[in-house]
A = this chain, B = another copy of it.
Amino acid sequence: MRNLRSVGASSERTGVPARRRLLVKKFGGSSVADVERIRRVAQISLESQRAGDDVVVVVSAMSGETDRLLSLAHKLAPLPDCRELDVMIATGEQVSVALTAMAIHAAGGHARSVLGHQVPVLTDSSFTKARVLWVEEGPLREALGHGQIPVVAGFQGVDASQNITTLGRGGSDTSAVALAAALGADVCEIYTDVDGVYTADPRVCPTGRKLRSIAYEDMIELASLGAKVLQVRSVEIAMKYDVSVHVRSSFTDEEGTWIVNRERALEGKVLTGLACARGQARVELVGVEQQPELVMALASLLAELNVSVDMLCHARGVQADTTTNIAFTIPEVDLLRARQRLDPLVASLKTGELRISEGLARVSLVGIGIRSDPSIPARLYRALTQEGIVVSGLVVTELRISCLVDEAVSDKAVCILHEAFGLGQTDVVGGPRLVARSGTAA
């Protein structure tokens, strides 16, 4: 049993290459979408094992399955019980692990499906959004010792009372990285339907360039800002335990993108990439009485709802010195739930009103150079407004700059910024060439 909270970076991973490696291979929903693709997963896993490595496989639900189950639940109840939701949606991965293990058997290998509660992957009890607390390594080591390939159900865990939990959308990435950390794996390979991490989505911006490597911090920003390659939390765990993550395609043998610490990642770049999150809503509380507790009350209310809030800003109102404006951005899908709590709060205030704008997209530029180059916000603003794009919000942090634009022009905005900051060119940086300062990023 290895406690994820206390185990540091493992020295096992720095051994000489000649020894037997341990690889955790995670396959997403599109990689197990049908029988043919599951056979491909079996083949990749067996080839790796036959080449002399120990292999642990983690799989997601077949693509579309989780949505099918969720719609079944929502037909029954608009707000289904979260504990029961987890019991239900965990079946998606359960089917995948069984089929994948069967496919490995059918190809002449030895495999054994392992469910979240069988590992076990212990989590807290936040149903539908649980956090991994620790991962037991015993049963997996035992299976590996017998020459088997353990096929572990991603996305699911179990709480201390034996309730089934799930880790939130994309949680299989987190499962894979947590297993890799617990086992001290050499690499956590994330097989997906894209071949790596790009400076910008190549479907949106044709000059988008695949990165050979990216630092954990930059990947965390990109993922939390809309890049759908990986779940944010998985990268946080990878960073914490220094797990080397390799994002690659399950359809080719090509190298993908390595997610590693900044020393190993830096290509001399200070700007890494662009991410775009559509379906955002801007919530503004305008002209409310200045109350120091209001922002706190708001923030804790939204935290309680487990709504992810971004670009919260707080500015003096225009009406008088005694009023203030508060604005923040939340995903449109969380708006209904948030308003159930916001509306009574606003109604209880003496002055002020709530303004909601929907149909927005958040376009973000990520890289270690953002803070150190004060010209970047101005260049971003100029590039977009020159092309007639209205920027309706801006926030700058250590590692990123995000702006809000209309959803209809968000693809155009991504392309403009990709060009303006020279992200398509391998050796161009978006600001003064900086020496990497590992560990200083937020």
Interface residues, chain A, with chain B CB atoms under 8 Å away: 35, 38-39, 69, 72-73, 75-77, 80-81, 83-85, 87-88, 90-91, 94-95, 97-99, 101-103, 105-106, 112-113, 115, 117-118, 162, 164
Given contacts A99-B72, A117-B117, A118-B162, contact A88 B94 (CB under 8 A): yes
Other 5 A-B pairs with CB < 8 A, given A72-B99, A85-B102, A115-B164: A69-B95, A73-B98, A91-B94, A94-B94, A117-B117
Task: Say yes or no: A72 contacts B117, CB within 8 Å.
Answer: no
Task: Say yes or no: B113 contacts A84, CB within 8 Å.
Answer: yes
Contacts of A91 in B (CB 8 A): 91, 94-95
Task: Say yes or no: B72 contacts A35, CB within 8 Å.
Answer: yes
Q: How many angstroms from the CA of A83 to the CA of B98 in the assembled complex?
A: 8
Contacts of A77 in B (CB 8 A): 102-103, 105-106
Contacts of A88 in B (CB 8 A): 94-95, 98-99
| Nearest chain B residue, comparing its CB with the CB of A101 | B84
| Nearest chain B CB to A70 CB, angstrom units | 11
Task: Say yes or no: A102 contacts B115, CB within 8 Å.
Answer: no
Q: Which of A83, A84, A98 has the most CB of B within 10 A?
A: A98
| Nearest chain B CB to A59 CB, angstrom units | 12
| Nearest chain B CB to A191 CB, angstrom units | 19
Given contacts A39-B76, A72-B35, A75-B35, contact A85 B103 (CB under 8 A): no
Contact of A99 among B73, B99, B118 (CB under 8 A): B73
Q: How many angstroms from the CA of A382 to the CA of B75 in the assembled complex?
A: 57
Q: How many angstroms from the CA of A84 to the CA of B42 in the assembled complex?
A: 15
| Nearest chain B residue, comparing its CB with the CB of A107 | B77
| Nearest chain B CB to A89 CB, angstrom units | 8
Contact of A102 among B80, B95, B103, B117 (CB under 8 A): B80
| Nearest chain B CB to A106 CB, angstrom units | 4
Task: Say yes or no: B90 contacts A94, CB within 8 Å.
Answer: yes
Task: Say yes or no: B115 contacts A76, CB within 8 Å.
Answer: no
20 cross-chain CB contacts under 8 A: A35-B72, A35-B75, A35-B76, A38-B76, A39-B76, A76-B103, A76-B106, A77-B103, A77-B105, A77-B106, A81-B101, A81-B102, A83-B113, A84-B101, A85-B102, A87-B94, A87-B97, A88-B95, A88-B99, A90-B94
Q: How many angstroms from the CA of A203 to the CA of B85 in the assembled complex?
A: 39
| Nearest chain B CB to A291 CB, angstrom units | 37
Contacts of A115 in B (CB 8 A): 87, 164
Contacts of A105 in B (CB 8 A): 77, 80-81, 84
| Nearest chain B CB to A345 CB, angstrom units | 27
| Nearest chain B CB to A242 CB, angstrom units | 32
Q: How many angstroms from the CA of A165 to the CA of B259 in the assembled complex?
A: 40
Q: How many angstroms from the CA of A431 to the CA of B223 in the assembled complex?
A: 80
Contacts of A81 in B (CB 8 A): 101-102, 105
| Nearest chain B CB to A29 CB, angstrom units | 15
Task: Say yes or no: A87 contacts B113, CB within 8 Å.
Answer: yes
| Nearest chain B CB to A100 CB, angstrom units | 9
Contacts of A84 in B (CB 8 A): 98-99, 101-102, 105, 113
Task: Say yes or no: B99 contacts A76, CB within 8 Å.
Answer: yes
| Nearest chain B CB to A35 CB, angstrom units | 5
Contacts of A85 in B (CB 8 A): 98, 102
| Nearest chain B CB to A120 CB, angstrom units | 10
Q: How many angstroms from the CA of A187 to the CA of B56 in the assembled complex?
A: 47
Contacts of A95 in B (CB 8 A): 69, 72, 88, 91
| Nearest chain B residue, comparing its CB with the CB of A42 | B76
| Nearest chain B CB to A42 CB, angstrom units | 9
Contacts of A69 in B (CB 8 A): 95
Q: Which of A35, A84, A118 has the most CB of B within 10 A?
A: A84
Task: Say yes or no: B76 contacts A87, CB within 8 Å.
Answer: no
| Nearest chain B residue, comparing its CB with the CB of A91 | B91
Q: How many angstroms from the CA of A164 to the CA of B90 in the assembled complex?
A: 15
